[in-house]
């Protein structure tokens, strides 16, 4: 098992997973590299088995998405000069790609790819919980800030000297009615 782990570490796969269209995906070039096949062969097999790859398993990047991915990801710099738009695969698409490639390496590596996706999903869930907790604390602190401001107002009013009482004139006075 350690020999397989040394072939494709989960950390290496994690760095190749991108967030595009609110989906965690891996580019066809990265997937082909992990599976030990040329990208062209991977895409050929995918096209031959198109019915196995619905839109939620894989999709093709638009030209704008491609240029953004190339600009932000060093490992995809080769795509800059490619005339074709790359495909990206979700977790399920990566597993299905291993099944259509039908090579022993693809099957072995698919396990590590699934582990990488699961690890990222777990990290995102932990971040959501942490984010929720921070928002809760911020609300709590905002309530405290409001309460402290009210206390300061009351203390300022208490510290204000009372206005001097009206001096009463000596003698009898008629009240003005």
The residue segments making up the domain with residue 26 are 2-129
Q: Kindly state whether residue 77 falls inside one of the protein's structural domains.
A: yes
Lookup result for tokens 């396990």: 111
Q: Kindly state whether residue 28 falls inside one of the protein's structural domains.
A: yes
Give the pLDDT confidence of 39-53 residue by residue, as tens digits: 899 989 889 989 988
Q: E strands of 12-130, at which residues?
A: 17-20, 23-27, 58-60, 87-89
Q: Kindly state whether residue 142 falls inside one of the protein's structural domains.
A: no
Predicted local confidence at residue 6, as pLDDT? 43
Q: Kindly state whether residue 170 falls inside one of the protein's structural domains.
A: no
Give the pLDDT confidence of 127-138 residue by residue, as tens digits: 888 878 888 888
**Total count of domains within the chain:** 1
Q: Kindly state whether residue 147 falls inside one of the protein's structural domains.
A: no
Q: Is the pLDDT of residue 2 over 70?
A: no
Q: Kindly state whether residue 171 falls inside one of the protein's structural domains.
A: no
CB 112 within 8 A of CB 10: yes
Whether the predicted model's global pTM rises above the 0.85 cut = no
């Amino acid at each position: 098992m350690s020999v397989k782990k040394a072939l494709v570490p989960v950390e290496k796969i994690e760095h190749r997973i991108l967030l595009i269209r609110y989906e965690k995906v891996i580019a066809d070039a990265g997937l082909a590299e992990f599976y030990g096949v040329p990208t062209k062969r991977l895409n050929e097999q995918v096209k031959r088995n198109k019915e196995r790859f619905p839109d939620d398993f894989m999709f093709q990047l638009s030209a704008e998405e491609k240029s953004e991915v190339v600009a932000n990801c060093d490992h995809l710099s080769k795509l800059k000069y490619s005339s074709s738009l790359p495909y990206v695969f979700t977790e399920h698409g990566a597993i299905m790609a291993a099944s259509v490639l039908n090579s022993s390496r693809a099957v072995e590596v698919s396990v590590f790819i699934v582990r990488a996706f699961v690890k990222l999903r777990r990290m995102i869930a932990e971040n959501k919980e942490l984010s929720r907790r921070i928002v809760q604390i911020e609300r709590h602190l905002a309530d405290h800030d409001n309460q402290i401001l009210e206390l300061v107002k009351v203390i300022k009013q208490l510290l204000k000297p009372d206005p001097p009482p009206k001096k009463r004139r000596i003698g009898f006075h008629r009240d003005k009615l």
